[in-house]
């Protein structure tokens, strides 16, 4: 029996898919590359991206024929989409060939749901909102990389940014116990993992039942033998603490890299977004981070054309981008998500204005990224090798401590290098990557 998982969205979803793959493999299923040739295909959905509904329902439509030709084929849908009742209603009404629908907090139950479907032939639906018992203790994720792993530390979010659907799809925030996270990281280290990414919608508000905060967790993970790099995602500028920033000085395994979403450089827009920080406090946080770790790389998210955004507001966003000098940025044109407060805002920014601002912002961001990358030319960087280039199997790719993508050549074979630290001299710099050669 073969399975395939189609994953959309963020790293939380990627990790959920790793866990679902682990559950399927424990049931004896084997992975297959083609979703149309699998016996069980799972679509792990995201509702954050542009046109999420359209794309999602379009994908479902493509499986109608598969089901018609192979009635035993099992199609499953999970992730953020089914957490919205209107989506489940629509699936039930228009897509009768979807066998199983389960929520972000029902993943551990998936084997039982699949068994039920296989035994009874009935359609199965299981979506709960606030499961108090989320545990990863029994999960055996099939990791995408041998040497690095995603580790959930919190689930859900309490922030209710006015544009965001996540608090409605992933529920209220819950933190895992620090001891459970550390046990998982120890098991990963014993299995050859050298790099962990601690995941949460807002890692800075981590607080477990024993009162441990995010800085305590980083310090504890920093003590685990075998782990060489610690990353985390995502930070919220309103919650980042002095203790956390100090970890960049004191924790030798903590990578000097942070993703610090700014969303807008305008105070009035930040207020309408319900972000609870202003540009002054954001810039102050950036200063503190740079004092703690002068070589820190910073990436961000920006939304262009949020309702009510004026030319002046947008100029403030360009200004903050130039002041911070981000290493990279994910830029989005605002699009409303049904069910969020911002979807009801009436002062929409016209499409042509959004696109013009978006293009200007991307130009500014790319110019800064290139300038920052040029500073690496001639330097020797420590890179952990991650994979082989798709176009050229003599080129290996990896990441620096600061998460810069480096494509490099080496006299050693890829097998010898995967998951290992390699010293690479940077010979060329581009906007989104660096190039170089291994120096021995
Ligand atoms: S912090 Fe805001 S943007 Fe991030 S997940 Fe929570 S509500 Fe969404």
Q: CA nearest 239: which of 271, 268, 282?
A: 282
Residues 245 and 361 in one domain: no
pLDDT surpasses 90 at 133: no
Mean of the per-residue pLDDT values of the chain: 93
Residues 342 and 384 in one domain: no
- pLDDT tens for 56-79 read 888 999 999 999 999 999 999 999
- Give me the pLDDT at residue 135, please: 65
Confidence band, pLDDT 50/70/90 cuts, at residue 376: very high
**Single residue among 126, 151, 177 that ends a domain in this structure:** 126
**Inside any domain, residue 313:** yes
One-character DSSP codes across 136-202: -TT-----S-SSEEEEE-EES-S---TT--HHHHH-S-EE--HHHHHHHHHHHHHTT--EEEEE-TT
**Inside any domain, residue 109:** yes
**Inside any domain, residue 411:** yes
Residues 343 and 246 in one domain: no
The pick from 83, 157, 173 for probing ligand 1's pocket by mutation, whose C-beta has the most ligand atoms within 8 angstroms, reads 157
Residues 408 and 301 in one domain: no
Q: What is the mean pLDDT of residues 350-379?
A: 97
One-character DSSP codes across 329-384: EEEEE----TTSGGGG---PPPHHHHHHHHHHHHHHHHHHHHHHHHTTTT-EEEEE
- pLDDT tens for 244-278 read 999 999 999 999 999 999 999 999 999 999 999 99
CA distance 279 to 288: 14
**Single residue among 126, 160, 176 that ends a domain in this structure:** 126
- Give me the pLDDT at residue 49, please: 67
Looking at residue 60, which CATH number applies to its domain? 3.40.50.12160
- Give me the pLDDT at residue 137, please: 65
Residues 328 and 415 in one domain: no
Q: How far is the CA of 346 from the centre of ligand 1 (A)?
A: 22
pTM metric for this prediction: 0.89
Residues 36 and 116 in one domain: yes
- Give me the pLDDT at residue 391, please: 77
- Give me the pLDDT at residue 243, please: 97
- pLDDT tens for 157-183 read 999 999 998 888 888 899 999 999 999
**Inside any domain, residue 134:** no
Residues 294 and 356 in one domain: yes
Note down the domain range covering 189: 143-255
pLDDT surpasses 70 at 130: no
**Inside any domain, residue 233:** yes
The count of structural domains within the chain is: 4
**Strand-strand pairing, 30-31 and 40-45:** unpaired
- pLDDT tens for 80-105 read 888 888 889 999 999 999 999 998 88
Q: How far is the CA of 244 from the centre of ligand 1 (A)?
A: 20
**Single residue among 255, 290, 314 that ends a domain in this structure:** 255
Residues 302 and 337 in one domain: yes
**Inside any domain, residue 207:** yes
- The phi, psi pair for 191, rounded to 5°, reads -95, 10
Residues 120 and 159 in one domain: no
Q: How far is the CA of 164 from the centre of ligand 1 (A)?
A: 6
Tokens of 179: 């001891």
Residues 166 and 106 in one domain: no
Instruction: List pocket residues of ligand 1, CB cut-off 6 Å.
Output: 157, 159-161, 164, 166-167, 201-202, 236
Please report the sign of the dihedral spanned by the C-alpha atoms of residue 285, residue 286, residue 291, residue 296.
positive
Residues 199 and 285 in one domain: no
Residues 367 and 401 in one domain: no
**Inside any domain, residue 280:** yes
Q: How far is the CA of 357 from the centre of ligand 1 (A)?
A: 23
Looking at residue 238, which CATH number applies to its domain? 3.30.750.210
**Inside any domain, residue 261:** no
Residue located nearest, by CA, to atom 8 of ligand 1: 164
């Amino acid at each position: 029996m073969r399975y395939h998982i189609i994953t959309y969205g963020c790293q939380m979803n990627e990790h959920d898919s790793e866990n679902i793959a682990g559950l399927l493999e424990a049931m004896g299923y084997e992975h297959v590359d083609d979703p149309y040739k699998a016996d069980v295909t799972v679509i792990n959905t995201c509702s954050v991206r542009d046109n999420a509904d359209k794309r999602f329902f379009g994908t479902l439509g493509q499986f109608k024929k598969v089901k018609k030709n192979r009635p035993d084929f099992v199609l499953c849908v999970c992730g953020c989409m089914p957490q919205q009742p209107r989506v489940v209603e629509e699936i039930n009404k228009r897509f009768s060939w979807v066998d199983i629908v389960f929520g972000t907090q029902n993943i551990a139950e998936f084997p039982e749901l699949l068994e039920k479907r296989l035994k009874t032939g009935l359609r199965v639906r299981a979506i709960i909102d606030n499961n108090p018992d989320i545990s990863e203790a029994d999960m055996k994720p099939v990791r995408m990389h041998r040497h690095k792993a995603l580790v959930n530390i919190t689930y859900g979010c309490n922030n209710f940014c006015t544009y965001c659907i996540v608090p409605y799809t992933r529920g209220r925030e819950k933190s895992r116990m620090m001891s459970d996270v550390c046990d998982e990281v120890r098991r990963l280290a014993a299995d050859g993992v050298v790099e962990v990414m601690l995941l949460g919608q807002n890692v800075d508000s981590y607080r477990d039942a024993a009162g441990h905060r995010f800085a305590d967790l980083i310090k504890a993970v920093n003590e685990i033998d075998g782990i060489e790099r610690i990353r985390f995602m995502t930070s919220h500028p309103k919650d980042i603490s002095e203790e956390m920033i100090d970890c960049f000085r004191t924790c030798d395994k903590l990578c000097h890299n942070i993703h610090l979403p700014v969303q807008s450089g305008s105070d009035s827009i930040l207020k309408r977004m319900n972000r609870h920080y202003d540009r002054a406090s954001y810039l102050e946080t950036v200063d503190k981070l740079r004092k703690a770790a002068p070589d820190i790389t910073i990436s961000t998210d920006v939304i262009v054309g949020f309702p009510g955004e004026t030319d002046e507001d947008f100029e403030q966003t360009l200004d903050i981008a130039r002041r911070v000098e981000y290493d990279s940025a994910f830029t989005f044109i605002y699009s409303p998500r049904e069910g969020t407060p911002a979807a009801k805002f009436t002062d929409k920014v016209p499409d042509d204005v959004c696109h013009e601002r978006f293009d200007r912002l991307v130009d500014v961001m790319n110019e800064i990224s290139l300038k920052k990358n040029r500073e690496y030319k001639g330097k020797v960087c420590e890179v952990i090798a991650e994979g082989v280039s798709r176009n050229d199997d003599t080129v290996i790719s990896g990441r620096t401590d600061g998460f810069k993508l480096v494509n490099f050549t080496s006299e050693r074979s890829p097998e010898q290098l995967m998951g290992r630290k390699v010293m690479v001299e940077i010979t060329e710099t581009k906007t989104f990557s660096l190039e170089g050669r291994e120096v021995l």
